[in-house]
Amino acid sequence: MNKQMHVALAMVLAAAAGSAAAQSNVTVYGVIDTSVGRGYKSDASAEMMSGYTDTSKLGFRGSEDLGNGLKANFQLEGEIGSDTGAWAEGFKRQSWVGLSGSFGEVMLGRTTTPPEPPDGHV
């Protein structure tokens, strides 16, 4: 990359970091599913396993009120190996941004499950 691209990228990242720090309505959530069991190998040793009954995941979701009934929304969710701590290929479960208002919601990105309706709506 040339010098101008580095400067532009640095400015975008600085602006994003500043706006993310100002957010007061970001939720961090997750599920850790780990088990210890004995395999049926020749040595039959006990081992720790990730994702025994569910996927271990880590996610971030939030929204920002833009005024006039509009909200900017986002969700980032990815898999994590609870036995090794390894991050599995980024945010491959949920990774989207959206805009919501009286018209409904528009989401752009990767969604794996339909969003839950707002309170009082079906």
Domain assignment of residue 15, yes or no: no
Number of domains in the chain: 1
Per the structure, the complete domain to which residue 29 belongs is given by 25-110
Rounded distance, CA 47 to CA 84, Å? 12
pLDDT at 9 over 90: no
* 55 found inside a domain: yes
User: Closest Cα to residue 66, out of 25, 10, 119, 122?
Assistant: 25
Gap between the Cα atoms of 75 and 60, Å rounded: 6
Residue 43 domain-assigned?
yes
Find how far residue 93's CA is from the centre of its chain.
7
At 70-98, the pLDDT tens digits run 999 999 888 887 777 777 777 777 889 99
> Is the whole-model pTM more than 0.75?
no
